[in-house]
Structure 1
Amino acid sequence: MNTLPPDPDPVPTVPPTASQRVIAAFERITEADRPDLWSTLRAVEDVLVDAKAVDERVKAGEDLPLAGTVFAVPELIDVAGQPSGRSVPEASATIVSRLTGAGAVVLGKTGAATVASAWDRTKAGGRGAAVAVALGIVDLALSTAGPVPAALNAVAALRPTRGLLPMTGVRSAEAVSVYATGLVAARRALALMTGPDGVSSTRTWPADVRLGAGEHPRIAYPENLPLSAAAATAFEGVVKRLTAAGAVLTPIVLGEQDFEDALLLPTVPDHPDLVEALADPAGVQHRLAACTAFANLLDLAAVTVPVLPGDKRPFGVTFLTRAFEDQIGLDLATVCTDEPMTPYPEPGEEVVVFGAHLRGQPLNAELTALGARFTGPVRTTEGYRMVLLDTEPPQPGVLEGATTLDGERWRLSPAAFERFAATLKEPFVLDRVVLDDGTAPLAVRCLTAEGPGLDRYESWRGYVRFTSTAGLRGPG
């Protein structure tokens, strides 16, 4: 029988150079035909000069995490050499400099006027920044407009805790948000912008900040809001999806703002026509921001994601969390987008656990009560073994040996890490283990311990499953 030759291995996709991305951006500008988005669009020759400089830095071996990225900046954030009101600043805002230093290239400045949506020109789209992202002209956009434009154009928006971003060169009292097509890209940019610059006043994370909300986060959400039919359907779908993922959702009356881990809100109640938004800009803006406007007043962080990005219906949801608990909002939002959970760069310590502190095991609550964040499964190199200790609840002692072991990596704030370390009793200690990815984090293990060997098992869960199905036997 004749058979076809096997398919060749897929050729890895080579990311575009900065110059290629800039050319593609200007081609997209021509295709989209949306001059209303821009207050100042840089000349293609000038942008290409910046892009070629990025390409040369990459060729020279520099690690530029945003190489091949183009972004837009609103009028109220300074870009060196670009008109800003009546002046032309000599230096860019700190947050802009940090993005360009990482390889991103500024395409232009977006306007503050209300423009049409990216997907339906008869509908309002808010300001131009979110529209430029939605249309694929730019990869990222900074904005002082908050969650509403992101929802109107089916893009993601992150507004961090006020004070985490330096405001040098930002001529606005409003918090800065970053728009992107997905959470991963927005979070990467936000991480690069975060941190003091020695000029403007910034805030630092508390030593005991919570980094996670456990496997069953408690989320409040408002009931009986005046939503359009499509917005109500989208919001109800998110409530069901979060519940299915293990979250505990509790209805509240909007205005009480009494929530535990997060508050889930529909970002906009409906999608107004552009004609209406232009005729009554203040009234429409007040209506659209009714659900999320109080976030600034209450010092909350916000993560906005589209709910129905496939058909471009602009009904996103926003997760509000307490100041500095930005990571919790990011992790919850990934349930809606199916993107990988990625860490925000808050200070913290990592610890690997192998036994009763694993998820679903008796002592896991000691970690979650401290606000620890599960960051993923791990495996050691071939240099360890487990013995069964005489403890209550049962736990393994991890010693030097000749096998690999499966465990979990958790991240805690500095103060939480100290409290966790204080809970460990003999024979447990915190000592480094070598993982198969080459890292050597601290782990809960033993330097010496007596007990039956568990050499046939590569994980504590494997031993627990064995005993639960086969009954108690010699561990072997």
Structure 2
Amino acid sequence: MNTLPPDPEPVPPIRPTASQRVIAAFERITEAARPELWSTLRAVEDVLVDAKAVDERVKAGDNLPLAGTVLAVQDSVDVAGQPSGRQVPETSATVVTRLTAAGAVVLGKTGSGTVAAAWDRTKTGGSGAAVAVALGIVDLALSTAGAVPAALNAVVAVQPTRGLLPTTGVRAAEGISVYATGLVAGRRALALMTGPDDADPATRVWPAEFRLGAGEHPRVAYPHDLPLGAAAALAFESAVKRLTAAGAVLEPVSLADPDFGDALLLPTVPDHPELTEALADPSGVAHRLASGTAFANLLDVAAVTVPMLPGDKRPFGVTFLTRAFEDQIGLDLAAVCTDEPMTPYPEPGEEVVVFGAHLRGQPLNTRLTELGARFTRPVRTTEAYRMVLLNTEPPQPGVLDDAAGTSLDGECWRLSPAAFERFAGTLEPPFVLDRVELEDGSRPLAVRCAPTADGPDLDRYESWRGYVRFASTAGPRDPG
């Protein structure tokens, strides 16, 4: 049979240098013609000095994860040398310092006043930070305006558990939100900003135990009693359908007395007001738009906002609220709506690899999910192991060292430190936690068995699921 040659491997795009990205940002500022977005816009010469310093550090071999990233900062967050109200701070807010240390370059400061939306200048866009991201002027923006501007401009907003981001140099009671074009970019910035700050006693550390995942069928509550405009209702319905198709269990609740479940899904805004209305009655419009997502600032929760239907110029969004320190659950649910890869928040935790009855869909998987473990990825070991069938109930495999062995398929799960200790306590002899070497060179802990354990060889199946399929069709017999 004739076959076509395989397609060549795609060439990864070359990331622009910091200097190139800054020049493109100022060109975009000219094209957009939106001077009202900025309370202070730095001179291009000054920004290029910072950008060239980043480029030199990259050439010298420094690892700068945000090299080539342009940042806007709302005027309630300090930037050294840039006016903040009547003051000109000498130092930047801690969150800004952490981003610039990773290679981001500050373009300017956005105002907190009402401006037109990025998609339709007859509509309100909330504050300028989200508009600057939506217009492609900047890659990231820091704001204290919360979820609403993100929804009005079809960008992502991530507001982590209160206290995870230091507020030194932030002159607002509201939590800090990161605006970005996508979840991956927002999560990356969040990871770099998270961590204690000696100058901020309000920063919090992660507790010993918290949930990183909600299993394959998370319970997502959503309000059935919010009045929504037609476009907002369509966007919200689209999110509900996506989550249901992905396996989530959607449960209608009353917003007056919501039961969170694993997360609470909210329409970020009920409608998209005209700019003239927002300017004439700013407090009234702001109250109406934030009526659903005000929980994010009033309660101890984490929030993730993602756009729905941005392609047809109706940039309504949905917001996921999760309990404090369960940020990862909200990020993973939001990823279902954006088709982006699920990426981890930098919380403390332990990874464990499983090969048998703890796999997804297997009888002991609930021992992981009930502890809030998060499935991170499928894995494969090097060719240095063998798998045997142990005499246990339920049936389980034992993984043993074998220099002449084969590679085995498994799954990697992540748990909080306390949950990991509790999981380890569920293992009974002959099972032990010991390290395995994976194809990527890492050596995580895994559920293995004592070296003295033995049983029928399962190597021919390369995975426990392979053997389970064999046993279900062939019936009880020698697996060899």
- TM-score by shorter chain over 0.5: yes
2:343 is the alignment partner of 1:339: no
Q: Which residue matches 1:193?
A: 193
- Which has the higher mean CA deviation after the structures are superposed, 445-454 or 273-282? 445-454
Alpha-carbon shift at residue 472 of structure 1 (Å): 2.2
Q: Which amino acid aligns with 2:381?
A: T
Query: Per-residue CA shift, 1:44-92, capped at 9, x if unaligned?
Result: 0000000000000000000000000001001111111111111111111
Segments of 4+ moved more than 4 angstroms: 3-10
Query: Per-residue CA shift, 1:148-191, capped at 9, x if unaligned?
Result: 00000000000001100111111111100000010000000011
Query: Per-residue CA shift, 1:341-382, capped at 9, x if unaligned?
Result: 111111100000000000000000000000000001000000
Q: Which residue matches 1:278?
A: 279
C-alpha change, 1:398 and 1:93, in structure 2 (3 Å) is same
C-alpha change, 1:4 and 1:348, in structure 2 (3 Å) is closer
Q: Which amino acid aligns with 2:257?
A: E
2:427 to 420, 424, 428: 424
Partner of 2:312: helix, strand, or coil?
coil
Q: Which amino acid aligns with 2:340?
A: E
Q: Which residue matches 1:239?
A: 240
2:231 is the alignment partner of 1:227: no
Q: Which residue matches 1:71?
A: 71
State the alpha-carbon separation in 2 of the partners of residues 230 and 4 from structure 1.
46
Alpha-carbon shift at residue 399 of structure 1 (Å): 0.5
2:473 is the alignment partner of 1:469: yes
Q: 1:122·1:273 contact (CA, 8 Å) conserved in 2?
A: yes
The correspondence of residues 42-441 of structure 1 with structure 2, limited to 5 A, is 42-201=42-201, 202-401=203-402, 402-441=405-444
C-alpha change, 1:473 and 1:7, in structure 2 (3 Å) is closer
Partner of 2:278: helix, strand, or coil?
helix
State the alpha-carbon separation in 1 of the partners of residues 217 and 8 from structure 2.
44
Q: Which amino acid aligns with 2:132?
A: A
State the alpha-carbon separation in 1 of the partners of residues 175 and 204 from structure 2.
13
Query: Per-residue CA shift, 1:423-467, capped at 9, x if unaligned?
Result: 000010000000000100000001321110102011100110111
Partner of 2:459: helix, strand, or coil?
coil
Alpha-carbon shift at residue 13 of structure 1 (Å): 1.4
Alpha-carbon shift at residue 7 of structure 1 (Å): 7.3
Q: 1:153·1:312 contact (CA, 8 Å) conserved in 2?
A: no
Q: 2:223·2:258 contact (CA, 8 Å) conserved in 1?
A: no
Alpha-carbon shift at residue 8 of structure 1 (Å): 6.3
Q: 2:225·2:255 contact (CA, 8 Å) conserved in 1?
A: no
State the alpha-carbon separation in 2 of the partners of residues 426 and 368 from structure 1.
22
Identical-pair percentage: 82
State the alpha-carbon separation in 2 of the partners of residues 81 and 198 from structure 1.
23
State the alpha-carbon separation in 2 of the partners of residues 458 and 283 from structure 1.
63
Q: TM-score, normalised by structure 2?
A: 0.97
RMSD after superposition: 1.4
Alpha-carbon shift at residue 9 of structure 1 (Å): 5.4
C-alpha change, 1:455 and 1:10, in structure 2 (3 Å) is closer
State the alpha-carbon separation in 2 of the partners of residues 72 and 188 from structure 1.
16
Partner of 1:429: helix, strand, or coil?
strand
* Unaligned runs of at least 5 residues, structure 2: none
Query: Per-residue CA shift, 1:284-306, capped at 9, x if unaligned?
Result: 00000000112222211100000
Alpha-carbon shift at residue 311 of structure 1 (Å): 2.3
Q: 1:388·1:396 contact (CA, 8 Å) conserved in 2?
A: yes
State the alpha-carbon separation in 1 of the partners of residues 80 and 450 from structure 2.
57
State the alpha-carbon separation in 2 of the partners of residues 8 and 382 from structure 1.
29
State the alpha-carbon separation in 2 of the partners of residues 18 and 54 from structure 1.
7
State the alpha-carbon separation in 1 of the partners of residues 164 and 6 from structure 2.
53
Q: TM-score, normalised by structure 1?
A: 0.98
